[in-house]
Amino acid sequence: MPPKMRKVRQDLRVTNALAGSSGASIPDTCVLDMDGTLLDLYFDSQVWNECLPRHYGQRSGLSESAAREHVEQVLTRQRGTLTWYCFEHWSRVFRLELTQIEYELRHLITVRPGVTEFLEALQARGIRAVLATNAHPKSLLRKLEITGIGRYFDAIVSSHEFGYAKEHQKFWSGFAERYRIGLERTLFIDDNLAVLLAAQRFGIRDLYGIALPNSRGERLNHEGFECLENFSDLTHRLMTS
């Protein structure tokens, strides 16, 4: 698809999402992921893909490559489950204090470009903002303290409260019931394709991915979902709709 046509298509999707299912008003609720959506995923990549294998290799006497391969294999077995996101579990498995590793890298926790302006626009338009993350509560608290984004939200939710990750339908049923999520009047943004698919299966209609969740990583293209380059288009249309 030519770049100009792709931009027109994206503009139309942005307009439709902000118009809600009826086309007459903006959404009632915006549900936002945290890591890779609001915050740069580079921090988490460094924690899990670099520091954890390096510390584990030093502790176990493995070479860097062997430690990296082992850690990746062990983590992958739990991908998409709540265990994948559980600090206590992996601290026990690898016999390392992951919260300390996060603390040492806390300077890498940063808000993605355009996010603050978008959150301010939600407030200005009276749209309920809900943060829904798979992050462990300890990590969530640290990131909220460092970035200050918590003040923009009407509700902040860790999937650990429900016992299921966002990839699971039982999370969505419990989440939607507790926070009275109207499926046709909710905008949901997440960088994780498996989570987007889960939300779509549950019935949420307006969904966006993130094109570059890790500022130093690869660009993503989730088939079937428009991936936002940044939040500026959404912010502009939100304030002019």
Number of folded domains that form the chain:
2
| Amino acid code (one letter) for 224 | G
Instruction: Specify whether 55 is located in the same domain as 8.
Output: no
Instruction: Specify whether 53 is located in the same domain as 128.
Output: no
Instruction: Specify whether 137 is located in the same domain as 185.
Output: yes
Burial status of residue 116 (CB atoms within 10 A of its CB: 0-12, 13-18, 19 or more)? middle
Instruction: Specify whether 193 is located in the same domain as 124.
Output: yes
Instruction: Specify whether 207 is located in the same domain as 97.
Output: no
Rounded-to-integer distance, Cα 162 and Cα 150, Å: 20
- Listing DSSP states for 95-149 in one string gives TS-HHHHHHHTGGG--BPTTHHHHHHHHHHTT-EEEEEE-S-HHHHHHHHHHH-G
Instruction: Specify whether 115 is located in the same domain as 102.
Output: no
Q: End of a domain among 91, 107, 123?
A: 107
Instruction: Specify whether 17 is located in the same domain as 99.
Output: no
Assigned token pair, 34: 């945290």
Question: Where does residue 80 fall: left (phi above 0), alpha (psi -120 to 50 degrees), or beta otherwise?
Answer: left
Q: Give the predicted TM-score (pTM) of the model.
A: 0.89
Q: Could you read off the pLDDT of 55-107 as tens digits, one per residue?
A: 999 999 999 899 999 999 999 999 999 999 999 999 999 999 999 999 999 99
| Amino acid code (one letter) for 28 | D
Distances from the Cα of 2 to the Cα of 5, 7, 101, angstroms: 5, 9, 44
| Amino acid code (one letter) for 121 | A
Assigned token pair, 92: 């026990």
Q: Which residues of the chain have pLDDT under 70?
A: 1-25
Rounded-to-integer distance, Cα 213 and Cα 227, Å: 10
| Amino acid code (one letter) for 33 | D
Pairing of strands 128-133, 206-210: unpaired
Rounded-to-integer distance, Cα 233 and Cα 210, Å: 13
Instruction: Specify whether 175 is located in the same domain as 205.
Output: yes
Structural domain containing residue 27: 3-40+110-240
Instruction: Specify whether 53 is located in the same domain as 145.
Output: no
Q: What is the pLDDT of residue 219?
A: 94
Instruction: Specify whether 73 is located in the same domain as 9.
Output: no
Q: What is the pLDDT of residue 25?
A: 57
